[in-house]
């Protein structure tokens, strides 16, 4: 039967060395004794050199058997316990094997081995003792103390292993939680980017398609230009969607090429041209100073805020005039203010206000503030982003 060798934690080299040194102590003491007593007329243990050499041979065999104590814990412990009846040097390996057995906490195996160990110590004492009663009682008492101490040590080692295992499990669980949180944060970021990109493009397509469907006064050339604009915006939608979804493959390095540049404040001119070409009326008041010193990440946030504000205006106030005011300088921050006529009544469109929620989260993560209100019949979106000097 192969016991829990595969369930035992691996021992480091230092741990293995210390165990074998402890187990070899009786054998080393016998070697020292033989060296010191060589050439002297001093009686040997057991009465002859042959017995001493046999004892040492069994001790060496016990050190060899220790190799398999983790695979067959109770079998090796029992064999070494029996060997201690005629070999003092086998006591070291027997003690290590017994402690290893106790770490399994299988008392139906531990108790019989403990009894055999105690009896073997009694037999060993009788082989060298002069008084049966004195030797038996002393050996039994000594064996009981040794067994008790070894049992406590074994339980302590098992407790330390369990504690280390629980700490490793807790660390692994914490690591999994951190990975899950990072994945969730990445998914939320991707979802936000997808909303910003697709909401803008799809609203432009809806505006262009609506004009194409309901205007009867368009010339063939105007109809062709509108269809080309729809085609171009659909193409841009696919490209931007691929760029956003490309973030999903950053970890595995499976992207087909370098990641495209993300829009920043410098791309706002192109954005205004696109929405104007689609029919949205936009007035821009740009008073930003030292815009070349604006951090790229801040510029990206600013672009997405303006993009979502224009999308929001097309969705809830189609055909109205939109005013975009941008200002700021290093040390004072960047301010974005977009306003448009407020539609009467509550908004009932699908995904209503979800874009504003996403903008609020984006601005908060950037360290800025954002608020929106209706004042004098106009919906006003006011955002501020930090811009260090």
Each residue of 101-148: pLDDT tens digit? Answer: 888 888 888 888 888 888 888 777 777 655 556 666 766 777 778 888
What is the Cα–Cα distance from 166 to 388, expressed in whole angstroms? 46
Query: Under CATH, to which class is 267-389 assigned?
Result: alpha beta
Count CB atoms within 10 A of the CB of residue 358. 19
State the pLDDT at residue 42. 53
State the pLDDT at residue 219. 77
DSSP state of 385: E
Tell me the CB-side half-sphere exposure of residue 112, using CA atoms within 13 A.
Answer: 9
Handedness of CA 265, 269, 275, 281 (dihedral sign): positive
What are 323's strand-pairing partners?
283, 339
What is the Cα–Cα distance from 86 to 83, expressed in whole angstroms? 6
pLDDT class of 41 with cuts at 50, 70, 90:
low
> pLDDT tens, 297-352?
888 889 988 988 898 888 888 888 999 999 999 989 999 999 999 877 655 444 45
End-to-end CA distance of the chain: 74
Give the pLDDT mean for 218-227: 75
- Domain residue spans of the chain: 13-128, 267-389
pLDDT class of 3 with cuts at 50, 70, 90:
very low
């Amino acid at each position: 039967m192969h016991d829990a060798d595969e369930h035992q934690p691996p021992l480091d080299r230092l741990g293995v060395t210390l165990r074998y040194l402890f187990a070899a102590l009786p054998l080393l003491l016998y070697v020292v004794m033989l060296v010191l007593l060589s050439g002297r007329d001093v009686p040997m243990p057991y009465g002859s050199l042959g017995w001493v050499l046999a004892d040492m041979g069994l001790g060496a065999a016990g050190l060899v058997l220790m190799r398999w104590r983790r695979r067959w814990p109770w079998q090796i412990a029992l064999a070494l316990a029996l060997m201690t009846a005629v070999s003092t040097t086998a006591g070291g390996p027997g003690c290590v094997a017994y402690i290893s057995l106790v770490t399994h906490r299988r008392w139906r195996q531990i108790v019989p081995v403990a009894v055999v160990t105690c009896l073997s110590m009694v037999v060993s004492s009788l082989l060298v003792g002069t008084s049966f009663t004195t030797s038996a009682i002393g050996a039994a008492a000594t064996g009981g103390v040794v067994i008790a101490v070894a049992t406590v040590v074994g339980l302590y080692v098992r407790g330390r292993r369990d504690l280390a295992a629980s700490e490793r499990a807790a660390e692994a669980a914490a690591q999994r939680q951190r990975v899950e949180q990072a994945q969730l944060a990445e998914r939320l970021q991707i979802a936000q980017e997808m909303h910003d990109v697709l909401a803008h493009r799809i609203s432009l397509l809806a505006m262009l398609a609506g004009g194409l469907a309901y205007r009867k006064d368009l010339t063939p050339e105007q109809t062709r230009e509108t269809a080309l604009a729809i085609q171009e915006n659909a193409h841009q939608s696919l490209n931007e969607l691929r760029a956003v979804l490309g973030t999903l493959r950053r970890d595995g390095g499976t992207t087909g090429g370098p990641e495209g540049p993300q829009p920043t404040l410098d791309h706002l001119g192109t954005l205004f041209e696109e929405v104007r070409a689609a029919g949205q009326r936009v007035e821009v008041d740009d008073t930003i100073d030292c815009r070349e010193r604006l951090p790229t990440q801040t510029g990206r946030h600013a672009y997405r805020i303006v993009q979502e504000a224009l999308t929001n205006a097309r969705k809830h106030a189609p055909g109205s005039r939109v005013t975009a005011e941008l200002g700021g300088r290093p040390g004072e921050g960047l301010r974005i203010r977009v306003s448009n006529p407020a539609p009467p009544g509550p908004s009932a469109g699908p995904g209503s206000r979800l874009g504003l929620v996403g903008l609020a989260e984006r601005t908060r993560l950037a360290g800025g503030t954002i608020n929106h209100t209706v004042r004098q019949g106009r919906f006003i979106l006011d955002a501020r982003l930090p811009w260090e000097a």
